[in-house]
Amino acid sequence: MRSDDLLKFCKLVGKFKSLKINSFKLDSRIITPNDCFVCFKGTKFDANDFINQALEKGGVVISSNLEKASRFSDRNNVFYSEDPLRSLKELAEFKRKSSTTEFVTITGATGKTTTKEFIKQILEDSYPVFATHKNQNNLLGVSLALLNMPEKTKIGVIETGTNHFGEVEELTNLVKPNGSVTTNIYPSHLQFFKSVLGVLKAETEQISWLKSNPKTKFWWLNYDDKYLRRFCKENYDFLKFFSMENSRANVFIEKVTPVEKEIGYIFKLNIFRKPILFPHFGIFNLNNLVCAVSVCTEFLDTSRIEKILTSKSLTLPDFRSTVRKIRSNILVVDCYNSNPGSLISSATETAEISKKFGGKKLVGVISEMAELGARSEYYHNKVAKILKKLGFSKIYFCGGMINQFIEVFGKDYVIQFDHNNLSHLVKELKKLKDCIILLKGSHVYGLERVVDLLEK
């Protein structure tokens, strides 16, 4: 994209110089020559205060403050937008119209980012692949992904998130994918969606685009998810299913065996000739891999995918289901999101690790699950009962729903901590010996910091 294109959607404040824009960024500290610095005013600071720093580094600027932008009217390529998010979306739409990239969108309550990373890692040796950064899956993140995608990209893998109705539809219409995949439907963002059926409705809004687009190639759904299995009453040609066990699906696991005394599984898909090692924590992550493999069959021969999986070690995103050993304790670090489905899955798999390693005591470091609305007490109580049944002996908890855990475990076995000051929590955890500790919470709570503090 060129600076000339900004003239179509933004007001020029300074002098104009035609140049090719390398990338769009929101942080003035990482601006390099010919980058475009987009200035949003946040709750803690105003990016418009850093216009000069971006210009000094050779950047282009889109400011959201006309008064501050006008101070640099003698400089090249200073633009103003009353609504920079709208302008970024319009620029992304403009770029998408001329793109020949094939796009895949990913929706679902959990597993989107891991599935996205697995797809990218499987395909990137065969094609130029680009994917959304980390879990930046809202309108801003997706717009930036489209704008920053290299021109020679063959396949774009775009994660689309949602916490309100209409968001997936808007993002789908922006990306205009050739195919899509939905990982699962769990209780999440119930403050907005009210029920699991509301989550289903929101996470499948791409159906309108997929039905109307004559170039739609596929939509992969999780056959093991009862909501998705029953979702499509019509048998569209592009609809396909993956499964962990059911042979009615297009891609399914024929056999899976946990690796003895180690983390991971040996599994065989119906489309593969030989069993393959999956050396990571969590059967749910193996499910994410099956999901990713299913999508990749649209672009690669199954023999090629099988060869990649046997010769290449796929990596999980940061802070998602990583296992660390610190002294005599084993830490399961799953600190990027938390809802009832993902918390129960992580806890169940953590309990399985305990069985592998001589029945070590189970300890949970848990943050409150957000955006559950009127059902928040119910789901926190439900999760507490499941953790108790799984054998967790002590819970360290941050958030307002601690009483739901105290009711189940007893007040002597639930300890509250402040995620803004982890020193007391870390001091308590350092006293533990021969335990398996599950760190589970949304990224906003920063529980991953516990790992670094424990290692000191």
Do 168 and 303 fall into the same domain?
Answer: yes
Q: Is residue 317 part of a domain?
A: no
Least-confidence region, from 240-244, 321-325, 405-409: 321-325
Neighbours of 169 (CB within 10 A): 18
Do 149 and 284 fall into the same domain?
Answer: yes
pLDDT at res. 154: 98
Neighbours of 307 (CB within 10 A): 13
- Per-residue pLDDT, averaged over 127-137, amounts to 92
Do 71 and 208 fall into the same domain?
Answer: no
Do 425 and 404 contact (CB within 8 A), yes or no? no
Give the chain's length: 456
Q: Is residue 386 part of a domain?
A: yes
User: Helix 84-97 to helix 167-175 angle, to the nearest 10 degrees?
Assistant: 40
pLDDT over 70, % of the chain? 99
In angstroms, rounded to a whole number, what is the distance separating the alpha carbons of residues 435 and 308?
36
Do 259 and 265 contact (CB within 8 A), yes or no? yes
pLDDT at res. 443: 84
- pLDDT higher than 90, residue 356: no
The 8-class DSSP code of residue 300 comes to S
User: Strands (DSSP E) along 337-456, which ranges?
Assistant: 361-367, 392-398, 414-416, 435-440
The 8-class DSSP code of residue 427 comes to H
- Per-residue pLDDT, averaged over 376-385, amounts to 96
Do 247 and 351 fall into the same domain?
Answer: no
Do 109 and 241 fall into the same domain?
Answer: yes
The 8-class DSSP code of residue 252 comes to E
Do 29 and 121 fall into the same domain?
Answer: no
pLDDT at res. 275: 97
Do 128 and 154 contact (CB within 8 A), yes or no? yes
pLDDT at res. 320: 83
pLDDT at res. 315: 94
Contacts 24+ apart (CB under 8 A), 342-346: 342/109, 342/110, 342/186, 342/284, 342/440, 343/369, 343/383, 343/440, 344/383, 344/386, 345/110, 345/282, 345/283, 345/284, 346/282, 346/284, 346/321, 346/438, 346/440
- pLDDT higher than 80, residue 233: no
Reported as a pLDDT band with limits 50, 70 and 90, residue 146 is very high
Tell me the pLDDT tens digit for each residue of 398-444: 999 999 999 999 999 999 999 999 999 999 999 999 999 999 998 88
- Per-residue pLDDT, averaged over 292-300, amounts to 98
- Per-residue pLDDT, averaged over 133-156, amounts to 95
3-state secondary structure of 26: coil
Give the number of domains in the chain. 3
- pLDDT higher than 80, residue 289: yes
Neighbours of 356 (CB within 10 A): 16
Residue ending a domain, among 262, 287, 311, is 311
Q: How far is CA 276 from CA 9, 265, 310, 322, in A?
A: 50, 8, 6, 20
Task: Work out whether strand 24-25 and strand 36-38 pair parallel, antiparallel, or are unpaired.
Answer: parallel
Q: Is residue 445 part of a domain?
A: yes
- Partnered with residue 267 across adjacent β-strands are 256, 276
- pLDDT higher than 80, residue 44: yes
- Per-residue pLDDT, averaged over 127-141, amounts to 93
How confident is the prediction for the chain on average, in pLDDT? 94
CATH number of the domain residue 136 falls in = 3.40.1190.10
Reported as a pLDDT band with limits 50, 70 and 90, residue 24 is very high
- Per-residue pLDDT, averaged over 227-232, amounts to 87
- Per-residue pLDDT, averaged over 277-300, amounts to 96
CATH number of the domain residue 408 falls in = 3.90.190.20
The string of DSSP codes covering 175-217 is H--SEEEE----S-SHHHH-SHHHHHHHHTTTHHHHHH-TT--
CB-count burial class (<10 Å; 0-12, 13-18, 19+) for 74: exposed
pTM above 0.75, yes or no: yes
pLDDT at res. 38: 98
Q: Is residue 90 part of a domain?
A: no
Q: Is residue 88 part of a domain?
A: no
- Per-residue pLDDT, averaged over 265-274, amounts to 97
Q: Is residue 87 part of a domain?
A: no
- 372-411: buried (b, 16+ CB within 10 Å) or exposed (e) per residue? beebbeebbbbbbebbbebebebbbbbbebbebbbebbee
In angstroms, rounded to a whole number, what is the distance separating the alpha carbons of residues 61 and 21?
11
- Per-residue pLDDT, averaged over 304-314, amounts to 95
3-state secondary structure of 159: strand
Reported as a pLDDT band with limits 50, 70 and 90, residue 455 is confident
- pLDDT higher than 90, residue 358: no
Q: Is residue 89 part of a domain?
A: no
Do 153 and 251 fall into the same domain?
Answer: yes
Do 284 and 396 fall into the same domain?
Answer: no
pLDDT at res. 319: 80
- pLDDT higher than 80, residue 101: yes
Residue 334's Cβ-side half-sphere holds a number of Cα atoms within 13 Å equal to 29
Do 28 and 127 fall into the same domain?
Answer: no
pLDDT at res. 415: 96
Do 341 and 451 fall into the same domain?
Answer: yes
> In the sheet that 11-12 helps form, which strands lie side by side, from edge to edge?
11-12, 78-80, 60-63, 36-38, 24-25
Least-confidence region, from 75-79, 134-138, 423-427: 134-138
- Partnered with residue 394 across adjacent β-strands are 363
Residue ending a domain, among 311, 343, 374, is 311
Taking Cα atoms as reference points, which of 10, 180, 177, 210 lies closest to residue 96?
Answer: 177
- pLDDT higher than 90, residue 321: no
pLDDT at res. 294: 98
Cβ-based neighbours of 234, under 8 Å, separated by 6 or more: none
pLDDT over 90, % of the chain? 86
Do 125 and 265 fall into the same domain?
Answer: yes
pLDDT at res. 236: 81
Q: Is residue 316 part of a domain?
A: no
Residue 61 belongs to domain spanning: 3-82
pLDDT at res. 158: 98
Do 147 and 59 fall into the same domain?
Answer: no
In angstroms, rounded to a whole number, what is the distance separating the alpha carbons of residues 347 and 178?
36
Do 28 and 54 contact (CB within 8 A), yes or no? yes
Reported as a pLDDT band with limits 50, 70 and 90, residue 342 is very high
Residue ending a domain, among 311, 330, 363, is 311
Reported as a pLDDT band with limits 50, 70 and 90, residue 348 is very high
pLDDT at res. 246: 95
User: Strands (DSSP E) along 351-407, which ranges?
Assistant: 361-367, 392-398
